[in-house]
């Protein structure tokens, strides 16, 4: 299986559990995510080149070009805010990476904690019709968001 992991603290927390899986290829632009994967000696880990951004992730045309060369079975990402209209980000450069990874993925999973519910930021992401699953630690306390997510919502314990 091949997995895209976008940079982000929530996604990095998920990556710490990947050591349990065999025959895994992980493509990430997250430097912290790379560090979390460092104990996963059996995984094939691919880092697309690019500019180091805020000491946290790789972004830019070189990163985007590299991402376009790969296909993934699953794509995990997070966001800055989520409403019934979709998700949003504070950063267009990071959102561009997310869009590139999503385009080349069979399934897309948004990981978001409920502290981001009701927050809308400047950079609009894509709608829930383009996301296969949204994983949250509890049901959001927003009836419109619950309705918009429908069966795509997966409630998982915090990790």
Q: What's 65's domain CATH number?
A: 3.40.50.10470
When pLDDT is cut at 50, 70 and 90, the band that residue 21 belongs to is: confident
Whole-angstrom distance, CA of residue 23 vs CA of residue 103 = 23
74 lies in which domain range? 2-155
Q: Which residues contact 10 (CB under 8 A, 6 or more apart)?
A: 78, 111, 112, 113
Give the pLDDT of residue 43.
Answer: 85
Please write the tens of the pLDDT for every residue from 101-117: 999 999 999 999 999 99
Counted domains in the chain: 1
For 90, the 3-state DSSP assignment is coil
Strand-strand pairing, 105-111 and 72-77: parallel
Give the pLDDT of residue 38.
Answer: 81
For 141, the 3-state DSSP assignment is coil
Whole-angstrom distance, CA of residue 57 vs CA of residue 59 = 7
Q: What is the pTM of this model?
A: 0.94
Give the pLDDT of residue 159.
Answer: 52
């Amino acid at each position: 299986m091949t997995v895209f992991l976008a940079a982000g603290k929530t996604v990095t927390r998920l990556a710490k559990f990947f050591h349990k899986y065999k025959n895994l290829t992980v493509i990430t632009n997250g430097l912290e995510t790379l560090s979390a994967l460092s104990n996963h000696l059996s995984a094939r880990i691919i880092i697309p080149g690019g500019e180091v951004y805020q000491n946290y992730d790789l972004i830019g045309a070189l990163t985007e070009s590299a991402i376009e060369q790969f296909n993934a079975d699953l794509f995990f990402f997070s966001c800055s805010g989520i409403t019934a209209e979709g998700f949003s980000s504070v950063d267009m450069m990071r959102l561009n990476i997310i869009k590139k990874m999503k385009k080349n993925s069979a399934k897309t999973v948004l990981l978001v904690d409920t502290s981001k519910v009701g927050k809308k930021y400047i950079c609009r992401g894509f709608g829930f019709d383009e996301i296969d699953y949204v994983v949250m630690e509890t049901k959001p306390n927003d009836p419109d968001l619950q309705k918009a997510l429908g069966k795509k919502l997966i409630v998982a314990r915090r990790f």
